Structure 1
Amino acid sequence: MPTSPPAPSQRRASGRRVFLPTLLLGVVVVAWSGFWWYASTRVQSEWSRFVVRQAELGRQIRCADQSFGGYPFRLEVRCTNPQVTSTRPGQSFDVHLADLGAVAQVYQPNKVILEAKGPLTVVDGEGEGATVTANWASAEASMGIWTSGPSNADIVIKGLDANATRAGQATSLVAGANVEAHIRLAVGANAAPGAYDVVAKADAGSMPPLDRMLGGPEPLSGEFQATVTQIDLQPRPMRERLRAWAADGGSLQIVLAQLNRGPSSVKAAGTVALDDGGHPAGDLTVALAGINEMSGSLQQAGLASGRLVGLMGVGLSMLGKPTNIDGKTAVEVPVRLANGKVSIGSFPAGRLPSLF
């Protein structure tokens, strides 16, 4: 029995079922493309403003090739062979990098991920024009930015090697190092405007300058945890920044600062600020493990006499109390920073420089 053709009303309904979803998809694609184009244009505008602002501050930023992309879900900026040249008085330098890329998701533009490819070369424009060259297996950073300013930043570098060249002579600075640092707006009891929590860790297979000074290669590792208050992110020279930080009552509240090298360890905690003269001021609790090994290395390097080494061992034991660092026998001593001087207990141990 022959099949009758569909009625006109059925054909129209069938056509609408195909046409309307296609139309809706087309509208969504056009709207999304417009949104991406707007966001990408904003990124380019902000980048241009940043470059102009840096130029006004005496830092020229150039790219051998610059591109913007990432459609449809990402916003990407890539700068090939970037160069930064500073002509600021007393801060003259040139920085060269192989490649730098920044990526943000179009639906989360306030979180930016950076990836850098080495080598990195820094040429000092002052004096003899010393050059530092660094390379790494990987280097990534991320930053969260809100209207009030950065909320967090992270950096992770693996397999870092660095060398310095001065007067034609090259010196290895560090080999096989891994570095990570994390900064967040302070939370909990430390939460306040301008307060940030800081955590950093680093380890290195060797640091040749230090190894030569202390008589032989030893693996090195360190950890730092602290809260810093009254941070002002306005661009300004470091000395002015530190002066303003002191005037605002800023402080560095150290939860843990630890350095390990071979059998020796140093561990500190306490609070440090800057006084009106720019000198560090505060009280620390410092623990030392491997004092004999540490003293022996200082004596071998010619940094301490045999008499001073003997006094160090006996004096620290008398001034401090027994403790341990990660299971290693240690001595804990109080350290005070005041009036441009450092004291261990009630005994003077040296002078402190002014930072501004």
Structure 2
Amino acid sequence: MPDITPAPRRRPLWRLFLMPVLLLVAAAAWSAFWFFAASQVEVKADAWRAQEAKSGRVYDCAKRSVAGFPFRLEISCSGASVTLRSQTAEQAASRAAPVTAKLGEILVVAQIYDPKKVIAEFTAPATLSDRGGPASMVVNWSKARSSVVGLPDIPQRASIVFDDPAIDRVNAAVQTSLARAKLVELHGRRAEGSALDRPVIETVLKIQGGSVQEVHPLLAPPFDADVRAMLSGLKDFSPKPWPERFREIAAAGGRVEIVQSRIAQGDLVAVAAGTLGLSANGRIDGELQMTVAGIEKVIPALGIEKMLEEGVPQATLDRVAPGVRSQDVSNLLGALDRAIPGLGKVVKQNANVGVAAGINALGKESVLEGKKARAFPLRFVDGAVFLGPLKVAQIPPLY
């Protein structure tokens, strides 16, 4: 029998090219999608900058670029700057010259498959100047990053973290330290269940190894702080100057509820909770219930001795000792020195002991973290901060 072998069937050649062609089409489609998304980033960024400019915050980049193909969007802003107008009560009232901040670079990153989550990194240093003059402050850090979830709609949560931040005042060629910290964190999110038109914001502020000069002696030694608060009174998240924002919060009866706070500084440990609001003058009003261990350690920092040396203001005496004249106190201390040299100085130096005893008498005994403590109110009256009858600070208006 003849050997009959069937001829092999030829496979269609198009099947060999099907997968490569499909991959090529998919790559082309993905590339087109990425470049379209990159172009929309530019459009959204310009629209956001225009909105912020109307609110007195002008952002600019010397050079802007978009990279990260194929799975990320990386927006780089080199030579970044922001000019702030009417962002404080003083600026809004006096139409003062704007403040300009500049820093090296901002890098914003978003995954192409999760564009609502944005992560940013900031390159130090940043400089601040006003009235168009040279830099008056320099801000440095070892690492700074932030994240926002929910863009471009209403943000769901946001955070910013600085490692080793440092703020220096610049005077000619001399830099003076103003603030230092090992770590500063600020986190915020919209509270679950809060309405979109009346959002409640949960915030957490953490400071490790913080130190602030030229504000109050109590803030100069290193301290740690952990503050958790709830902010109400917001109407929306649309861009607007901060004084206008604070005015809206006050009109809506907004409050900051300090849910929990703890400050530790050497032997001093303080916890506080309460509610703060804004007065008709745009100043802080409210009261915090404090429990403090080691308060006697910080009484000298309140400056009682210096107050006596410079003379006790009549307004202070009117609050704590009605009917007593300021000149009478000064004359008494002088008479003590004339009668027995040095006696007036002893009275001044021991004034802190009397103040500590007075503050202890205001509150009640308590225990904080296993230490003896006192519990008492810290009052805010139209921006003035009172520890018992003693005014310890004055906070400027917010609008």
TM-score by length of 2: 0.76
Per-residue deviation, 1:313: 1.6
Structure 1 residue identity aligned to 2:245: R
Structure 2 Cα separation of the partners of residues 62 and 148 of structure 1: 22
- Equivalents in 1 of 2:383, 2:280: separation in Å? 10
Q: Closer, same or farther in 2 for the Cα pair 1:146/1:260, shift >3 Å?
A: same
RMSD: 3.2
Higher strand share: 1
* Alignment of 1:107 onto 2:105: no
Which region of structure 1 is more displaced relative to structure 2, 81-90 or 249-258?
A: 81-90
Report the 3-state secondary structure (helix = DSSP H, G, I; strand = E; otherwise coil) of the residue aligned with 1:278.
coil
Inter-partner Cα distance in structure 1 for 2:211 and 2:306: 21
Aligned to 2:192: 187
Q: How many Å separate the matches in 1 of 2:37 and 2:239?
A: 26
1:170 paired with 2:175, answer yes
1:254-333 alignment runs, 5 A limit? 254-299=258-303, 302=306, 306=349, 308-333=351-376
Percent identity among equivalent residues?
32
Match of 1:7 in 2: 9
Deviation at 1:332, TM superposition (A): 0.8
Please tell me whether residue 203 in structure 1 is matched to residue 201 in structure 2: no
Aligned equivalents of 2:280, 2:76: Cα separation in 1: 44
Cα-to-partner distance string for 1:130-161 (whole Å, 9 max, x where unaligned): 61111111100001134542211111111222
Q: Secondary structure of 2:233's match?
A: coil
Contact map agreement 2:64 2:78 (CA 8 A) in 1: yes
CA distance in structure 1 between the aligned counterparts of 2:285 and 2:241, rounded to whole angstroms? 22
Deviations 1:26-61 (A, max 9, x none): 222222222212211110111122333444455443
Superposed CA offset, 1:277-307 (max 9, x none) = 4343333211222111101333498367546
1:221 equivalenced with 2:224 (yes/no): yes
SS at match of 1:309: helix
Q: Secondary structure at the match of 2:239?
A: coil
Contact 2:106 2:121 in 1 (8 A): yes
Segment drifting more, 51-60 vs 288-297:
51-60
Contact 1:134/1:163 (8 A) holds in 2: yes
How many aligned positions are there?
Answer: 347
Q: Which has the higher contact order (CA 8 A, sep 6+)?
A: 2
> What is the distance in 1 between the residues matched to 2:380 and 2:165?
34
- Secondary structure of the 2:28 match is helix
Distance 1:319 1:243, change over 3 A: same
With over 3 angstroms needed to count, the CA separation of the structure-2 counterparts of 1:167 and 1:259, relative to structure 1, is farther
Distance in 1, matches of 2:21 and 2:72, equals 25
Distance 1:249 1:298, change over 3 A: closer
- The residue identity in structure 1 corresponding to 2:192 is V
Moved more, 196-205 or 95-104: 196-205
Measured at CA, do residues 141 and 238 of structure 1 come closer, stay the same or move farther in structure 2, by a change above 3 Å? same
Query: Contact conserved, 2:305 with 2:349, CA < 8 A, in 1?
Result: no
Partner deviation per Cα, 1:55-108 (whole Å, 9 max, x = no partner)? 445544332321111111111110112122346532512211111110111111
Match of 1:49 in 2: 47
Instruction: Report the AA paired with residue 277 of structure 2.
Output: A
What amino acid is the match of 1:31?
A: A
Any conservation in 2 of the 1:185–1:191 contact (CA below 8 Å)? no
**Residues 258 and 266 of structure 1 are in contact (CA less than 8 Å); yes or no, is this contact kept in structure 2?**
yes
Distance in 1 of aligned mates of 2:218 and 2:85: 37
Q: 1:307 to 1:167 in 2, by over 3 A?
A: farther
The farther-off stretch of 89-98 and 190-199 is 190-199
What residue ranges of structure 1 are gaps of 5+ in the alignment?
none
Q: CA deviation at 1:24?
A: 2.3
Cross-structure match for 1:161:
166
1:8-37 per-position Cα deviation (integer Å, ceiling 9, x unaligned) = 2xx22xx45532222222222222222212
Separation in 2, partners of 1:249, 1:210? 29
Q: Which has the larger radius of gyration?
A: 2
Q: TM-score with structure 1 length normalisation?
A: 0.84
**Structure 1 residues 51 and 285, CA, compared in 2 at 3 Å: closer, same or farther?**
same
Q: CA deviation at 1:113?
A: 0.5
- Residue 168 to residue 48, structure 1, CA distance change in 2 (3 Å): same
The 8 Å contact of residues 144 and 162 in structure 2, kept in 1 or not, is answered as: yes
